[in-house]
Amino acid sequence: MEVNGNIGRLGLEGDPDLQFLLNGGDLIKVKSRSWRKTRYFRLNDDCKTMWQQTSKTFKSDSGFSLEDIDAVRYGRQTEGLQKYTESSVEDRCFSVVFKGRRKNLDLIASSKEEAKVWVRGLEKVINGMDSLNRQQNSEHWIYNCMRKADKNADNKMSLKELKHFLRQINIEVDDSYAEMLFRKCDTSNSNTLEGPEIKHFYDLLTYREEVDVIYKKYASTNGQMSSTDLLNFLQNEQREPVFLDYAQKLIEKYEIDETAKQKMCMSRDGFLMYLNHEEGSIFNPTHTPIYQDMRQPLNHYFISSSHNTYLMEDQLKGPSSIEAYIKALMKSCRCVELDCWDGPNGEPIIYHGHTLTSKVLFRDVIKTVKEYAFKTSQYPVILSLENHCTVEQQKIMAHHLTSILGRALLTQPLGSQMPTTFPGPEELKGRFLIKGKRLNKLDAAFNNNATEDVDSVSEEDEAAELKEAEQKPKEKTSKKIKLAKELSDLVIYCKSVHFSTFEHSRDNHAFYEMASYKESKAMNLAENSATAFIHHNMDKLSRIYPAGSRTDSSNYNPVPLWNAGCQIVALNFQTPGKEMDLNQARFLPNGKCGYILKPEFQRDPASQFDPKNLTVGPWLQKKTFHVMIISAQQLPKINKDKQKSIVDPHVRVEIYGIPADNASKQTHHIDNNGFNPMWNTRFQFTVHVPELALVRFVVEDYDAASHNDLVGIYTLPFTSMQNGYRHVPLLTKRGNLIPSAGLFVHIMVLDA
């Protein structure tokens, strides 16, 4: 349990940046124009938590865990630093951005060099922690809990400390069981466990019978798994089309015991290591990188899209923030929304019109978007403008877009003649596309004489909807808004038009003319004219947005709209929940790049696919999906405050896809065990259209009296699942990985 073990585990022995963090130093903490105080910060010896000295004498010195950090940013990259500091200190500034709702920590170091060491050092330790595999993470976690339970810090464990420790790790045992474990390990009869006895206790505790059974079944070479035994297991159980060299690679990679490794054998520990890594994960590792054809026209992809991107919370009084754009872009969102209004001093602002949400400068948002757009994905970002500005401020918008985005902004169609279809994501890498109103047809970009004498377009979309709600029905006339030519000319492939019917669109609209639909209208079309909608989306783009009545920024289910081939299904990224889980799962494969190629039957003009009325066709690839929920490991406590509260977990498997495939089944709950509950429960589902299906695993804390609390979730596309014995990682409600927790399942997908 020694300190340096952690440094060793992170692979950072003797690292000067780490040494710097462990020694710590003074930083200026900035909270407002007037609130600036010097505070001493340092990394604790556990390399997992930061300590900060506070001024409050009655409060114990506070700190934070590195696991709660979302990012460390060098420079003035947060609203706080941009607002409250001068550009002259730019290179001495850095910020710690937290997951969830915690406020950023904005700091100024005494020199540029020092700021860089803080940032570099913190990033090293955080990356080291992330790459610790699950097995090490879990040991790390258990040792930490042991340290906390060792109240008098004598590196020995009494029976009382042992019981406290078991509660810490989410396991409620009756006293006789705790005592039995204790006696079994206390071989020195000293009434405390120490050194090797603690190790023995740890081994007994983490022994996994269910893994042992599988191991024994295949370990036929003197009780160990030879590479041939392992190959046998991979081919028969995991259904992987692999050869002996692959099995040998796994032994090279995961075997811990050197003697076993030399004999090309895999020990039980090595086998557990393999199961806990990406090769043993339920998510197919071949889907991790970009593996799809990225040269199809843009409208052949589902595109990860956000609504009211500027909001951090609700739509009535929540803060608007550039932080919200950073968070969405870092989650590979590829279509962000900018609600633009006239602002003071001739500078356009972004906020939720006619509400109390705070305001942010258009210019600042564009700068932020430029900085963060391509950090997680190289593929194009669509800026969806909802324009309420006067012509003067529209000209300023056009100026900011062209001057800030520069060559990355697409201002001309690709190629030398008028296109008839969209370019692909590959050709548009690193580019920004503007979605908005345009005064004329795109042909005007090629023949300069085709300038139509129009300076206004009919107003529709969300903007009109807001106003309509305020008008009396009899006043409903098609309003015109004046549009600045400078802004109009920046709209190339995403020109906003009003939708009336599919026939009207087919006869009157070019491929680059796209409509936005309110969720209720879109759901209605998806429900009643799905085939027509799918065909409409074969050559045009469709954007769907949540109803204005969702003032709490809640979300609708995106699946029925993807089923109808809609590409830009915009959700409130700031609101966690099932709908966001489904969105993150849809975009989990293909390098998490924010673009997923639609199935062939949603792109082929001859297709007659209708999600509601299934007929025979290439979409119908009926599968029987067998899943056995075997066990879970190290589920987190839900109620951190109540030391006594242990979870009573159950697991639900949910399927989302075409209507015939939607289903859900649930295990029984297990009383008082979040450490290693076992269910061994089998379910069977039939999936008709696997290419559109998503599978969601939900672990909850069962409560007879009230609402069940969420423990962890994991969602993935049906076609990205691996067969066989697999571990399922678990995420929090906000989509962050729970480091040591997981489910252990057996999956078998067969042709029906």
Is 37 part of any known ligand binding site? yes
358 burial via Cβ count (<10 Å: 0-12, 13-18, 19+): middle
Please state at what angle helix 362-372 crosses helix 391-405, rounded to 10 degrees.
20
Looking at the chain, which residues constitute the CATH 2.60.40.150 domain(s)?
623-751
319 burial via Cβ count (<10 Å: 0-12, 13-18, 19+): middle
Q: How confident is the model at residue 475 (pLDDT cuts 50, 70, 90)?
A: very low
* % of residues, the chain, pLDDT over 70: 91
Element (H, E) at 258: helix 258-262
Q: Is the pLDDT of residue 746 over 90?
A: yes
* % of residues, the chain, pLDDT over 90: 66
pLDDT at 2: 41
Contact of 102 with 68, CB cutoff 8 Å: yes
Lookup: tokens for 604: 């082929």
Is 471 part of any known ligand binding site? no
CA dist., res. 192 & res. 580, Å (int): 49
* Closest CA relative to residue 334, chosen from 312, 306, 360: 306
* Closest CA relative to residue 337, chosen from 610, 545, 175: 545
Q: Is the pLDDT of residue 145 over 80?
A: no
Encoded amino acid at 464, one letter: A
Is 339 part of any known ligand binding site? yes
Q: What is the pLDDT of residues 80-119, one digit of tens each?
A: 999 899 999 999 999 999 987 788 999 999 999 999 999 9
Looking at the chain, which residues constitute the CATH 1.10.238.10 domain(s)?
135-206, 209-280
Q: How confident is the model at residue 133 (pLDDT cuts 50, 70, 90)?
A: low
Is 646 part of any known ligand binding site? yes
CA dist., res. 413 & res. 492, Å (int): 6
- CATH number for the region 300-415+425-438+485-602 comes to 3.20.20.190
Q: How confident is the model at residue 476 (pLDDT cuts 50, 70, 90)?
A: very low
b/e code 195-230 from CB counts within 10 Å (16+ = b): eebbebbbeebbebeebeebbeebbeeeebbbbebb
CA dist., res. 539 & res. 51, Å (int): 56
Encoded amino acid at 199, one letter: K
Lookup: tokens for 175: 């006293």
Cα angle, residue 661 at apex, residues 660 and 663 outer, rounded to 5°: 110
* Over residues 145-168, mean pLDDT: 80
Is 31 part of any known ligand binding site? yes
Helix (H, G, I), strand (E, B) or coil at 592: helix
Lookup: tokens for 53: 């000295």
* Closest CA relative to residue 303, chosen from 344, 261, 280, 334: 334
Q: What is the pLDDT of residues 629-674, one digit of tens each?
A: 999 998 887 765 555 578 899 999 999 999 999 999 999 999 988 8
Q: How confident is the model at residue 446 (pLDDT cuts 50, 70, 90)?
A: confident
Looking at the chain, which residues constitute the CATH 2.30.29.30 domain(s)?
4-132
User: In this structure, which topology does domain 135-206 adopt according to CATH?
Assistant: Recoverin; domain 1 (1.10.238)
CA dist., res. 320 & res. 470, Å (int): 23
* Over residues 571-583, mean pLDDT: 95
Looking at the chain, which residues constitute the CATH 3.20.20.190 domain(s)?
300-415+425-438+485-602
Which CATH architecture is the domain 623-751 placed in? Answer: Sandwich (2.60)
CA dist., res. 67 & res. 61, Å (int): 19
pLDDT at 5: 58
pLDDT at 337: 96
Element (H, E) at 717: strand 709-717
Contact of 539 with 296, CB cutoff 8 Å: no
Q: What is the pLDDT of residues 359-416, one digit of tens each?
A: 999 999 999 999 999 999 999 999 999 999 999 999 999 999 999 999 999 999 999 8
Mean pLDDT, the chain, integer: 89
CA dist., res. 149 & res. 152, Å (int): 9
Question: 151-165, 499-513, 592-606: which has the minimum mean pLDDT?
Answer: 151-165
Lookup: tokens for 18: 């780490």
What 8-state DSSP symbol labels residue 276?
T
CA dist., res. 403 & res. 401, Å (int): 6
**Neighbouring-strand partners of residue 339:** 386
Helix (H, G, I), strand (E, B) or coil at 325: helix
pLDDT at 465: 53
pLDDT at 497: 95
Is 520 part of any known ligand binding site? no
Lookup: tokens for 438: 């345009």
Is 48 part of any known ligand binding site? yes
CA dist., res. 280 & res. 135, Å (int): 12
Lookup: tokens for 411: 């201002």
Contact of 39 with 27, CB cutoff 8 Å: yes
Encoded amino acid at 603, one letter: R
Q: Given CA atoms 264, 265, 270, 274 in this order, what sign does their dihedral have?
A: positive
pLDDT at 470: 47
Contact of 752 with 624, CB cutoff 8 Å: yes
CATH classification of 209-280 is 1.10.238.10, yes or no?
yes
HEC per residue, 397-447: HHHHHHHHHHHHECCCCCCCCCCCCCCCCCCCCCCEEEEECCCCCHHHHCC
Q: Which residues are catalytic?
A: 307, 352
pLDDT at 353: 81
Helix (H, G, I), strand (E, B) or coil at 730: strand
Is 53 part of any known ligand binding site? yes
Q: How confident is the model at residue 459 (pLDDT cuts 50, 70, 90)?
A: low
**Neighbouring-strand partners of residue 516:** 543
Q: What is the pLDDT of residues 331-362, one digit of tens each?
A: 999 999 999 999 999 999 999 888 887 899 99
* CATH, domain 4-132, list 2.40.10.10, 3.40.50.620, 2.30.29.30, 3.30.360.10: 2.30.29.30
pLDDT at 1: 37
Instruction: Give the C-alpha distances (Å, rounded to integers) separating 429 from 423, 425, 433.
Output: 11, 6, 11
Kind of pairing between the strands at 432-436 and 491-496: parallel
Contact of 450 with 443, CB cutoff 8 Å: yes
Is 39 part of any known ligand binding site? yes
Is 543 part of any known ligand binding site? yes
Contact of 580 with 573, CB cutoff 8 Å: yes
